[in-house]
Structure 1
Amino acid sequence: MIATLVAFTLGGLTTWPLIHQLRNRLTDATCQLQHDPVTGMLNRTGLLAAHATLTDGDTAGPIIVVLIDLDEFKPVNDTHGHDRGDEVLTAIGDRIHDIAGLHGGIAARLAGDEFAALLPARTDGLARIADTFVALISEPVELIADGKPVMVTVTASVGLALADTTDPLDEVALRRADIAMYHAKHNGRNRHAVYEPGMGMPAAGRRRGPRLRDRQQPSDEVTA
């Protein structure tokens, strides 16, 4: 009996480090699944998970959904290479993350040069928040290219929308912010627009094409 108990105890001591290691690996895998490898920000999966937690909170209320699309980012990659382009994305992502955090929210890189933020709807006006994003994103980013310092300036079109935490993030909240963002881009870029009920997409000729999420879901709106 004693021998059996000792064997069981020793077996448990041997197994515990393996279980601990497996748990750590699972945690790391989940973290990688929810974070963007370039900027370290939440990715789309992580943003969806974070939004889901908002609906479970006792103090859940309206949120501000911010969609940020960098203007004419492709020339940065064409001129300085994709590695330097990733540095610019990381620097801008840090700014977006800091602004979101300042307002008690979260931020994510959705894909390419598109970012998003979810902020609690508090006393700060949408226009003021949007102007902060537009202004700080347009601050120059210093890079080292070919051994020399280079200043790169990128602007952004920002769309904002109010939504309830119970609204589906993709189909409603981000969709509204997407429409507003395209109005900002349509009206000259480096500015923001706020979604209003009944607002539709601007003329298709000024759009870059359907987003990835547009291809993944049916829509009754015109895309091009």
Structure 2
Amino acid sequence: MIAIPVAVTLGTAAGYLATRRTVERLRAELADAAWQLTHDPLTGLLNRIGLRTAHNAVAAGPPCPLIVILLDLDRFKEVNDAHGHDAGDDLLMEVADRLGHLADAADGTAARLSGDEFAAILPLRHHRLDDVADQITTAIAAPVTIQAGNGPVTVTVTASVGMTITASTDRLEDGPLHRADTAMYQAKHHGGDRHLLYTPGMVMPEQGHRRGPRPRDLRRDRSGSVE
């Protein structure tokens, strides 16, 4: 008569443990899926969706001015062509680490948008724009050791940096990213390895001076909206 309740109790416990393991597994899978949705798999930085999410979180708080930064590496294609895509990936990961550390130190957020294009959102607070930009360009211009086909190789790249100031309540896609993008391409048009702050009236350089349309430019052209 005692064996029956014991068996029922053991069976219930086993069922509870199995259910808990299933729930924990599903939670882990959900967390992993959410991470992949919002992060760049190569560098671990936020991707475009993650950057929007981070900005929305800031926008939900007290209004404050933000620095929106877009940067593009100068001569990155030369590294890929000379040493291969794996070496290029090494370089991108190192740049991402440097930018991520700088953004963290400024209580901001960094992201890789596509290819060798990165972004950051920082609270303006007491930060001087020139100081922030100088820190970024200096950090990126420091030599990087990458693994090429014939062994370690030290390379140096620079960055073209565009910046704009915006209210935290402004939608990121409604102007700030485009303004920073315009300033960044003007910096690249003027030789690269420099930073520019967007000013009213600033426009994109002539198409011939750019490296060619990016996928998001083509999407923007088709939809008539600015990302």
Query: Fold conserved (TM > 0.5)?
Result: yes
- 1:23 is matched by which residue type in structure 2? R
- Which residue of structure 1 aligns with residue 215 of structure 2? 212
- Unaligned 5+ runs, structure 1: none
The change in CA–CA distance for 1:177 and 1:9 in structure 2 (over 3 A counts) is same
1:154 to 130, 153, 157: 157
3-state DSSP of counterpart to 1:52 = helix
How many pairs are equivalent?
218
Superposed counterparts of 1:1-224, under 5 Å: 11-57=15-61, 59-217=62-220, 218-219=223-224
- Give the structure with higher Rg (CA): 2
In structure 1, C-alpha distance between the alignment counterparts of 2:102 and 2:14, rounded to whole Å? 52
In structure 2, C-alpha distance between the alignment counterparts of 1:131 and 1:78, rounded to whole Å? 28
In structure 2, C-alpha distance between the alignment counterparts of 1:183 and 1:43, rounded to whole Å? 24
The change in CA–CA distance for 1:203 and 1:46 in structure 2 (over 3 A counts) is same
In structure 1, C-alpha distance between the alignment counterparts of 2:27 and 2:152, rounded to whole Å? 44
3-state DSSP of counterpart to 1:201 = coil
In structure 2, C-alpha distance between the alignment counterparts of 1:146 and 1:72, rounded to whole Å? 19
Q: Which runs of 4+ in 1 moved over 6 A?
A: none
In structure 1, C-alpha distance between the alignment counterparts of 2:18 and 2:97, rounded to whole Å? 43
In structure 1, C-alpha distance between the alignment counterparts of 2:40 and 2:213, rounded to whole Å? 22
In structure 1, C-alpha distance between the alignment counterparts of 2:225 and 2:25, rounded to whole Å? 49
- 2:75 is matched by which residue type in structure 1? E
State the Cα deviation string for residues 94-136 of structure 1 (Å, max 9, x = none). Answer: 1111111111101011100000000001112112211111111
In structure 2, C-alpha distance between the alignment counterparts of 1:212 and 1:125, rounded to whole Å? 33
Deviation at 1:170, TM superposition (A): 2.2
In structure 2, C-alpha distance between the alignment counterparts of 1:184 and 1:47, rounded to whole Å? 23
Moved more, 212-221 or 18-27: 212-221
In structure 2, C-alpha distance between the alignment counterparts of 1:205 and 1:126, rounded to whole Å? 30
- 1:150 is matched by which residue type in structure 2? V
In structure 2, C-alpha distance between the alignment counterparts of 1:22 and 1:205, rounded to whole Å? 50
The change in CA–CA distance for 1:205 and 1:145 in structure 2 (over 3 A counts) is closer
3-state DSSP of counterpart to 1:40 = coil
Deviation at 1:219, TM superposition (A): 4.8
Moved more, 145-154 or 212-221: 212-221
Deviation at 1:216, TM superposition (A): 2.3
> What's the TM-score, normalizing by structure 1?
0.89
> What's the TM-score, normalizing by structure 2?
0.88
In structure 1, C-alpha distance between the alignment counterparts of 2:17 and 2:139, rounded to whole Å? 53
